[in-house]
Chain A
Amino acid sequence: GEEVAQTPKHLVRGEGQKAKLYCAPIKGHSYVFWYQQVLKNEFKFLISFQNENVFDETGMPKERFSAKCLPNSPCSLEIQATKLEDSAVYFCASSPRPTNEKLFFGSGTQLSVL
């Protein structure tokens, strides 16, 4: 598709529950990035993929967060045992190349942990 599609738009979870977010990148884009926006306007890098391979995972809290990009499936970001501080907007973006090409962003998933 011509847009990065993120689902769901909103997700509400009780503390300790699992949350799974999905992202379909633009067709032909090899790179997928996940960002977490906790505080107003602060986009924190989580992880990036080159096709189905992890490219950079230096931003991922390893204990509870995991992510995958499998062939012919949307990419996913999963949070096991959510905590209150995981409440944020999670943005996915895709790009044909890292860094020197603009990122195409999805509209985000608002995760609320109660």
Chain B
Amino acid sequence: ILNVEQSPQSLHVQEGDSTNFTCSFPSSNFYALHWYRWETAKSPEALFVMTLNGDEKKKGRISATLNTKEGYSYLYIKGSQPEDSATYLCAFGGGSNYKLTFGKGTLLTVNP
């Protein structure tokens, strides 16, 4: 069983704060690390797919880094806005098959 851990479980920040969360995953047999943004009752939406150690990706105020050797990825949100409130899921692609194993997510609430 692959272990994908996300921390913290939940986070409350004020509008304008910058924040970050962590995803840890197995450091062997790595293919890819995905980040998704999910609002309840909607479809999870892909933010980033990272495949190379040291990868850094950015989309607007959101960025992510990847360390495959030590098995972690960070997601950063700069200047949080209320519309950033959502659950952020990471998913590890690896092992001998091609399925993605999801973490339990970090629930972010941005207070106006």
Chain A residues near B (Cβ < 8 Å)? 4, 33, 35, 39-43, 45, 48, 55-56, 58-59, 91, 98-108
The number of chain B residues with a CB under 8 A from chain A is 26
Contacts of A33 in B (CB 8 A): 99-100
Q: How far is the CA of A87 from the CA of B99 in the complex (A)?
A: 23
Chain B residues near A (Cβ < 8 Å)? 31-32, 34, 36, 38, 41-46, 49, 51, 87, 89, 91, 93, 97-102, 104-105, 107
Residue of B nearest to A100 (CB): B32
* Chain A to chain B contacts (Cβ below 8 Å), 22 pairs: A4-B43, A33-B100, A42-B104, A43-B91, A45-B100, A45-B102, A56-B97, A91-B44, A98-B98, A99-B32, A99-B98, A99-B100, A103-B34, A103-B46, A103-B100, A104-B46, A105-B36, A105-B44, A105-B45, A106-B43, A107-B43, A108-B43
The B interface is mostly helix, strand or loop, or mixed, namely strand
- The answer, among A4, A35, A99, for a CB contact under 8 Å with B102, is A35
Contacts of A41 in B (CB 8 A): 38, 87, 89, 104-105, 107
